[in-house]
Amino acid sequence: MFSASDGLHIAHVSQDISRSSTNSRPEGRRTRIFVIFVVGMAGSGKSLLVASFSEFLRSTEQNVMILNLDPGATVLPYNPDVDVRAYVDIDELMEKYKLGPNGALIMASDIAADHLEEMRGELEAEGPDFVLADTPGQIELFAFRESGPYFSNAISEESKAVLYTLDAPFCRNPMNFVSNLFLAAAVYARLRQPQIYALTKTDLVSDEELDRVVEWAGEIEQLENALEATPGDTGSLIARDLAVAVHSTGLVFETIPVSAKSNAGLLELNASLTRALTGGEELRP
């Protein structure tokens, strides 16, 4: 299907995806599956959170499956129940189409969307209470290309949510925090699913630093003050304008501090996701 030698492969793939996204789904039994897409900047702690949160949920006797959607993942801290790498091989794409790693990842993400029915079939065969879906570190692959929003809409007819991971050590700097807010808002605009914010790696920051970031997320004035106090150039002024612009959208960035190392905050995360997915019901069939 993909004759990629002329560099037009990605457009071809996108067209294929567009066609498949308008197709009606095959008739058949549909199982209720809640899906949580874990999205965030590279290295923000998505995979380790998927590992620790899935363990936590299993310990409370919830039936969880893990879906790995990162075709470029090499080592993962969990055993995926359904794995995009079973459907698409980055190394093969690089070799066959003479692509670099990024081109191959883009192509792989688009090809993965063509295998949505098979992956959904694997999930439905098990019928979990819900699915934790780990997404690529290159956030644009899942959130901003055509395949990601298609995938997130079509993988389940039931409730879905995005768990956006904010790296706490990275977010200590208010400029970094604003960049992350902007990205998070852009992800919401593309995926349009309820979005929950986990402030990750809290074991690596002090309580004071943590309180400050949580405050910035809730109160724009505090964030503006922090940016104004940032020494330097016009960068912080631009960041302030960006923060105000994001705030004016009305999006709420309440964050839940968590650590995948100590398991701190996982109870609160569960409660928040439960509310987002079910309006307060237990996450059980």
List residues binding ligand GTP (CB under 6 A).
40, 42-48, 70, 137, 200-201, 203-204, 259-261
d(C-alpha 102, C-alpha 71), whole Å = 11
User: Which residue is nearest to ligand GTP, using beta carbons?
Assistant: 137
Q: Which two tokens stand for residue 236?
A: 């912080």
Which is nearer to ligand GTP, 35 or 226 (by Cβ)? 35
Nearer to ligand GTP, 135 or 156 (CB): 135
What minimum distance in Å lies between the beta carbon of 33 and ligand GTP?
A: 22
Is 76 exposed, middle or buried (CB count within 10 Å of its CB: 0-12, 13-18, 19+)? middle
Minimal distance in Å, beta carbon 200 to ligand GTP?
5
Q: Among residues 56 and 223, whose Cβ is nearest to ligand GTP?
A: 56
Cα dist. 223→156, 167, 214, 218, 240 in Å?
Answer: 37, 17, 10, 9, 8
Nearer to ligand GTP, 134 or 224 (CB): 134
A 10 A CB-CB count for 242 gives: 17
The distance of closest approach from Cβ of residue 20 to ligand GTP in the complex, given in angstroms and rounded to an integer, is 26
Answer yes or no: are the C-beta atoms of 227 and 238 closer than 8 Å. Answer: no
CB of 12 to ligand GTP, least distance (A): 27
